[in-house]
Amino acid sequence: MSEEHRETGTGWPRPGEPARPSGPAGEPDPRPDAPDPDELSPLAPVEPVEPAPDEVAEPAEREAVPESEPEPGAAAGAGAPSAARRFSSAGAMIAVLLALLGFTLVVQFKTTSTDPTLAATREEDLVRISSDLDSRERRLRQEIELLEESQRQLRSGEQGRQAALEEATRRADELGILAGTLPAVGPGLEVRFSGPAKAVSSTRILDAVQELRGAGAEAMQIQGADGTAARIIASTYFVDGAEGALVVDGRRLTGPFTIMVIGDPATMRTALNIPGGVVASVRDGGGNVTSEDREVVEVSQLHAPIKLDHARPVS
């Protein structure tokens, strides 16, 4: 250690200790507990000396360093995965909804546009079908008007008795015609079925009866080549007989068969000639169906009254 350092008694500043100015050269250290510089060995380690409390310099207050704001790029990068996940979930949900909507539209389009019957129907056939539906609608509206008129008459006081009697008579006649216990007369069709047994089987005849009923037929009877006839009512059944015969309610009829039906001729003829209907199926089997309008059709064959063993009217 140099002599200058020994005289000042300071040495090099220790790590973490603030530097202190030394006194003038040759003046003793003002600290009372400072060791004698002459007693210090050049090679002896310097003992750490605690500074006096009043001599400790207050460290300067550190300036508050503002927290560095995250860079825009870093912030965007931190939130990017979450935003990407939200965008991915929303996109997946939208894709699923669009797929379901498209599937529904395709199924509906196929259901309404691939009907084999309507797809092969000609324009004039569609016109006939539309006319048939319009005729049914008019007929049902007329029936509604008649029933409403009857209801008003029945509620009209003293005149209601006579109206009720007339209404009961009319209903009895209608029910008698429907039940086959009364003869009927009116405009209609004469429909003739001819051909092999396969073409004019009981199934084809039953289909024709159902089509005629749907078109507004009010009374029907079927007749064989030998003149045997049977009244057709709601409970009538048809069975294939031997040698191309047809059994109707237990009566054996031989072909060709003729159905006499009362109703609107145009509507019933349209129903029979619908593409894929009765006429088409009989012709596909090698048979033939002819229909002729009649201004007056007589349905004279009667059906025995049906005895009800179990059914009772609701009182």
CATH number of the CATH domain containing 214: 3.30.70.1880
Is there a domain that residue 216 lies in? Answer: yes
CA distances from 35 to 5, 42, 210 (A): 13, 14, 135
In terms of Cα–Cα distance, which of 248, 246, 250, 252 is closest to 287? 246
Is there a domain that residue 237 lies in? Answer: yes
Higher pLDDT, 12 or 211: 211
Rounded Cα–Cα distance for residues 41 and 298 (Å): 156
Is there a domain that residue 185 lies in? Answer: yes
What does the pLDDT read at residue 100? Answer: 78
Q: What is the mean pLDDT of residues 202-224?
A: 93
What does the pLDDT read at residue 272? Answer: 92
- Identify any residues that bridge with 298 across adjacent strands, giving them in sequence order: 185
Q: What is the mean pLDDT of residues 104-130?
A: 67
Kindly indicate the confidence band of residue 152, based on its pLDDT and cuts at 50, 70 and 90: confident
- Helix, strand, or coil (residue 220): strand
Is there a domain that residue 47 lies in? Answer: no
Is there a domain that residue 18 lies in? Answer: no
- Percent of the chain at pLDDT > 70 equals 65
Is there a domain that residue 272 lies in? Answer: yes
Planar angle of CA 13, 15, 17, nearest 5 degrees: 65
What does the pLDDT read at residue 313? Answer: 81
What predicted TM-score, i.e. pTM, was given to this entire model? Answer: 0.51
**Single-letter code of the amino acid located at 90:** A
Is there a domain that residue 108 lies in? Answer: no
Rounded Cα–Cα distance for residues 237 and 249 (Å): 6
Structural domain harbouring 290: 121-303
Is there a domain that residue 29 lies in? Answer: no
- Percent of the chain at pLDDT > 90 equals 33
Q: How many structural domains compose the chain?
A: 1
